[in-house]
Structure 1
Amino acid sequence: MILETDRLQIIPCTKETVQIAINQNYNNGPQIANYLEDLTKDSSLLYWGCWIVVRKSDDRVIGDIGFKGKPDENLAVEVGYGFLEEYWGKGYATEAVEALIMWAFNTSKVEKVKAETLKDNYGSIRVLEKLGMQRIDQTESMVNWKIDKKSYLK
């Protein structure tokens, strides 16, 4: 399964698909390697972890996105994302997160999507605001967000 937007392909990470990122020397942190290790232990995590974001115009891996695990008992998942700095401010994160949220809500296993961001990460805050996520609380350093299926799909 590959999610497609106008400009992006969003590909779930597996041992096979991660080769795309490896071949391009993509390294944006340990989350992909950690997820692949967890996936070997529990195949039901497929789709509920890392996905690679590929720009269609040049087949370039520009970031990764995903969930921090399967839906919980409240049918909620947390989304996270990271993009290479040269691709910030171009709408790619918004486009990719929107596609992943829509996919999650269409699985019938998710009723709420959560996110968290540093309180001074204004780019990420803007992404979540554009997608209609609501601030639910804030600590000294983090802001927590959510959106529910009914609000999102109306």
Structure 2
Amino acid sequence: MHEEEITLQIITERLIITAFDQQNYKKVSETYPIGKHTAGYLAHLEEDSELLGWGVWFVTLADNNQIIGDIGYKGRPDIQGIVEIGYGIIPDMHNKGIATESVKAIMEWAFSSGQVKKIVAECLIDNLPSIKVLEKLEMTRVRIKDGMIHWEITNNRHR
């Protein structure tokens, strides 16, 4: 009998969204540029397996397995049930609804965990593609500070 590795994945209409872990890191890094944020997350994940899902996920096209971006959270929910989300999709995939589809999927995952009351995000005031994504996801602009727009959405749909 062998232990089966558990992979945390979300499948949407066009995408397979997979939480980074030590097992898939090498395979992904062969075809997709891994940022410092991913390496840092993996180091913390090695120390605390309960971080799985509260860090970086990679986004793959379901039809051809091409990795087209990474999205995720900047840590697990805080004591108030708040997490911050971030995302980056390769330029070839902009204006196709990919960012909206992938971010919506992991937002639903977070809200369904029972640990998240609010998801926050930020983007530069001139980052029109991100502004469009956050508006489509029905996030609310809460303030503008230091050239950044701060957004939030609460978990009132899932309770």
Fold shared per TM-score above 0.5? yes
Which sections of structure 2, spanning at least 5 residues, go unmatched?
A: 1-7
2:98 corresponding residue in structure 1: 92
Q: Provide runs of 4+ in structure 1 moved above 3 Å.
A: none
1:55 corresponding residue in structure 2: 61
Q: Report the CA distance between 1:116 and its aligned residue.
A: 0.5
Q: Report the CA distance between 1:35 and its aligned residue.
A: 0.9
How many angstroms apart in 2 are the aligned matches of 1:61 and 1:149?
A: 29
CA contact (8 A) 1:71 1:77 kept: yes
2:15 corresponding residue in structure 1: 8
1:137 corresponding residue in structure 2: 143
Q: Is the counterpart of residue 118 in structure 1 residue 120 in structure 2?
A: no
CA RMSD of aligned residues (A): 1.4
Q: Percent same amino acid at aligned positions?
A: 40
Task: Provide TM-score, normalisation by structure 2.
Answer: 0.91
> Which protein has the larger Cα radius of gyration, Structure 1 or Structure 2?
2
How many angstroms apart in 1 are the aligned matches of 2:17 and 2:27?
A: 12
CA contact (8 A) 2:15 2:62 kept: yes
1:32 corresponding residue in structure 2: 38
How many angstroms apart in 2 are the aligned matches of 1:30 and 1:141?
A: 23
Letter in 2 for 1:94: T
Q: Report the CA distance between 1:43 and its aligned residue.
A: 1.9
How many angstroms apart in 1 are the aligned matches of 2:150 and 2:114?
A: 23
Aligned partner of residue 40 in structure 2, secondary structure: helix
Letter in 2 for 1:21: V
CA contact (8 A) 2:112 2:158 kept: no
Task: Provide TM-score, normalisation by structure 1.
Answer: 0.94
Deviation string for 1:85-128 (max 9, x for gaps)? 11111110000000000000100010111101111100001000
Aligned match for 2:114, one of 104, 108, 116: 108
